[in-house]
Structure 1
Amino acid sequence: MNDLPEITYYNATHFEILGKMSETKTYNRLPEAAKSSVRNSVWSLSKNTAGLAIRFSSNSSIIKVRWTLKNNRVKGNMTPIASNGLDLYAYTKDRWQFVGVAIPGKEVVNETTVIADMTKENREYLLNLPLYEGVENIEIGVESNATIDKPGQDIIDQENPIIFYGTSITQGASASRPGLTYAALLGRKINKEVINLGFSGNGRFEKEVAQFIMPDNPSVIILDCTPNSAPDTILTNLPETLAYIQSVNDSIPIILVESIVRDYAYFKENDPSTFGTLSYIQAQNDALKKVYLDNKNKNLFYVTNKDLIGQDNEATIDGTHFNDLGNYRMYQFLLPMVQKLLTQR
């Protein structure tokens, strides 16, 4: 029987952290200045590491991860791997290929082997962080006689990131692991840095959030807040947010996304005053469409909910939040649109 290799751990801050906005702390999604500007719920959720990833290279035959969570809470509609764990990709044959996962235990401090018994050759890696929990510290473990360093290849374009601002669906509920959100799928496909500003239950088209988007000079902004926003909220907040973005840079493409029809809406009594009914969802989308039509900027684009996640009602885990199928369909829908907008800039 072979002896277990000696492992040395390296703090992930020695490498490259993707998915971060300017002036943010190591594993936060909004800069410290946002604390006094955004609502408390948004600030708290900004400490979740949705969309953050570590880029590194190594020739180790084993990859381990040791990480400390702010909390270790389990959501009923998510896997522990998605909410509190990590997943690893390696770049091979000109694409990012899934390698394995770091499965969390029940404590805040976790340590696990992602993969072992690999051939000892240098590889480029992408380690996606938890979607619904904050992280205090991450360390990557490799064989003590192996190399580990910052990325050796310039694969992911970090200039002018794509920024998503949205809801729990954007944040990642309910992908089975961090790398399977539609935002993450899109970023890996086109090798473009993506910043995920999904705030569970709190995506409301707020200017207070948008003002922290603009310093990163995004290439595309996708506003996917409709599911969390009452019609009156859309009519109040969205025009102000669009006006602000366009006053800073009116050439940035902005995509507005309608709310999906929640699967259970087809069975609810259709009361227009009740959240989640067919008529309420229609009122949300009508408000979004009105703001879109009232705004005359040629770089504003509109996405209806038709065919966003298919018509078979199999794309959510609970009627609202995307399962892996829903995330994949959303990614496939957005991909050609985003690619076209990027080539036009």
Structure 2
Amino acid sequence: MKGYVLRFSFLLACLTVSACDKPQALTDSPLVLEGKTMGTYWRVSLAGVDSSRVVALQQFIQQQLDEDDHQLSTWKKDSVLSGFNQYRGAEPQPISENMAQIVSVALRIGRRTAGAMDITVGPLVNLWGFGPDKQPIRTPSQAEIDAARALTGLQHLKVIQSGEGQWLQKDLPGLYVDLSTMGEGFATDHLARLMEKEGINNYLVSVGGAVLTRGKNAEGKAWRVAIQKPTDKESAVQAVVDLQGHGISTSGSYRNYYELDGKRISHVIDPASGRPIEHKLVSATVIATTALEADGWDTGLMVLGTEKAKQLAIREKLAVYLITKQNDDFTSWMSPQFAAFLQKQ
């Protein structure tokens, strides 16, 4: 959903510092399955699994991810989320338990980031050409930005849950929910649940830039993930982590952009200003108990910029790794919680 580009290496695959590349395990010969979903790529690396199961597993995985996409896509007009966005009433609309979970986590992180992570910024995402709408041919005017911002706000969205089901409600008719910042994390967690259901205990699963691991790789060692430096050189590794059964996600700005009126337009939109970010933070990586949680926090941190992101990471005790552009070089910072996952190269 974030516009990722597939990029693999035989010996090393990186969880990149941009919203571009895709991770894989640091191991020689796992059983690997892969495919496309949500406008990006999924990959599953397995250890101790017979190759005779490949066809069945590939089918199960793709079916599940196709259903997730049908629930969460803003690009498909017949998706559940698109139906909610097109609805102009105020009555609660029935949703799946999965969607209720995603939106609930997003609203919680949105509050904890003072609105920096806002899944209602869809009108602004579309205005700046990063949604289903085409890229603008000119910079949006302040009036257009203000009009789009008037259709946003987490306070206008509510999840209702009871023993009878789950519903999503909005009190602003034009509210447009965009779950692209959370969908990959959720789908990664969903893949992990599928692996457990299939009796598989040693795996690395990823959708786009979200990754989750369990158990050991084909060499009997911990799965490791590398964070790539913000460069076009695929082998340039910034740090290597042992996820210890956690999820990891990276949000970045240095590759997913376009040029307009002589300026670089980032895909990361600041809900407060209604404009793409212009600060020097180029990537934020978060490790959390689930990939969904990591996928939500990394976006909020990217919006905030380096100093505010540091403050938030410390206050919330998050495992965070930040990379900031400084002149012609990059500087990095990690929270104490992130350091616990760091591996010596």
Q: TM-score, normalised by structure 2?
A: 0.29
Which gives a bigger RCO, structure 1 or 2 (Cα 8 Å, sep 6+)? 2
Q: Which has the larger radius of gyration?
A: 1
